[in-house]
Amino acid sequence: MKVIIRNNSHEGSLWTAHYIADRINEKAARTSDPFVLGLCTGSTPIETYAELIRMVGAGEVSFRNVISFNMDEYVGLPVEHPESYHSFMHRYLFDHIDEPAENIHILDGNAPDLAAECEAYEKAIVKAGGFDLFLGGIGEDGHIAFNEPFSSLESRTRVVTLTQDTREVNARFFDGDPSKVPAQALSVGVATVLSAREVVILAFGSKKARALASAIEGPMSHYCTVSALQGHPFGTIVCDEDAIGEVKVNSYRYFKAVEAAENA
Ligand code: PGA
């Protein structure tokens, strides 16, 4: 696992946007196959998306041959609700880039048969060629997508029940009322994320510090599902100084030294 540490979330977001754009451009230069990208919601990726929007506008990257799959969606929340992940993604990314509408995939939390919806999603990912890169965030409880503590590290896309902790954290988007946060969601599984050829996880701010330290230094465990990244051959965490604050001093120095050596 590689850990990229930047001074603040702004610098981490710029690094990530440019990294994703480089990956898209690099694939486009060698093949006409689409770039398959996993995307996340939440406060964390917003600045990364803003920079990608700027880059698309400036002609530095194009999403015309990108196929995206979002990691999760609430169950039972109308698509047009401002806090649905459909609304979020259009507001912060899709309405401002050139990705064709038919290339955008977001789980339908209002599907009549939720299990069938999840199964079809996994099949569509495989049909698209599998993920080239999955961009994710990390929950304060160490979740990746909505894979809450004790989710199987072998899990695939399915219906999940949100923990009270997560509903409280997300209540800020629902008038501060945890009971207004849907109790269930559809989420890709840990194994779905890890099936990507590359995984990039963002973590900004001191609220993520404990989860990030567990993910990096703790055992690989279903207690902190993002720790499964330890078993991935090509996993990168992009964080700021606040989020990396709980790891051992020697771990911090090691990551800084690796980056300095690679940039030398
Ligand atoms: P956040 O959410 O970006 O809003 O902190 C991340 C997550 O819960 O995975």
Structure tokens at 37: 């990208």
- What are 193-245's pLDDT values in tens digits? 999 999 999 999 999 999 999 999 999 999 999 999 999 999 999 999 999 99
Distance CA 205, CA 207 (A): 5
Statement: residue 263 has pLDDT above 90: no
Instruction: Give tens-digit pLDDT for 61-76.
Output: 999 999 999 999 999 9
The structure tokens listed for 206 are 């001191």
**What's the pTM?**
0.97
Distance in angstroms (rounded) separating the CA atoms of residues 31 and 111? 35
Question: 184-187 and 72-74: which strand pairing?
Answer: antiparallel
* H helix count then E strand count, the chain: 8, 10
Å from CA of 195 to ligand 1 middle? 21
172 close to ligand 1 (CB < 6 Angstrom)? no
What residue owns the CA closest to ligand 1's atom 4?
Answer: 42
**Cα–Cα distance, 77 to 66 (Å, whole number):** 27
143 part of the active site: yes
The whole-chain average pLDDT of the chain stands at 97
**Residue 121 confidence (pLDDT) above 90:** yes
The alpha carbon of 16 is separated from its chain's Cα centroid by a whole number of angstroms, namely 12
pLDDT bucket at 188, cuts 50 / 70 / 90: very high
187 neighbors 109 (Cβ within 8 angstroms): no
pLDDT band at 13 (very low <50, low <70, confident <90, very high): very high
**pLDDT-based confidence at residue 42 (cuts at 50, 70, 90):** very high
Pocket residue to mutate for ligand 1, from 9, 16, 39, 43, most atoms within 8 A of Cβ: 43
Q: What is the pLDDT of residues 130-174, one digit of tens each?
A: 999 999 999 999 999 999 999 999 999 999 999 999 999 999 999
Residue 209 Cα to ligand 1 middle (Å): 13
139: Cβ below 6 Å to ligand 1? yes
- Rounded Cα distance between 133 and 28, Å, is 14
Span 23-48, mean pLDDT?
Answer: 98
Q: Which pLDDT score is estimated for 79?
A: 96
For the question of residue 165 being annotated catalytic, the response is no
Q: What's the pLDDT score for residue 264?
A: 87
From 105, 143, 222, 232, the catalytic residue: 143
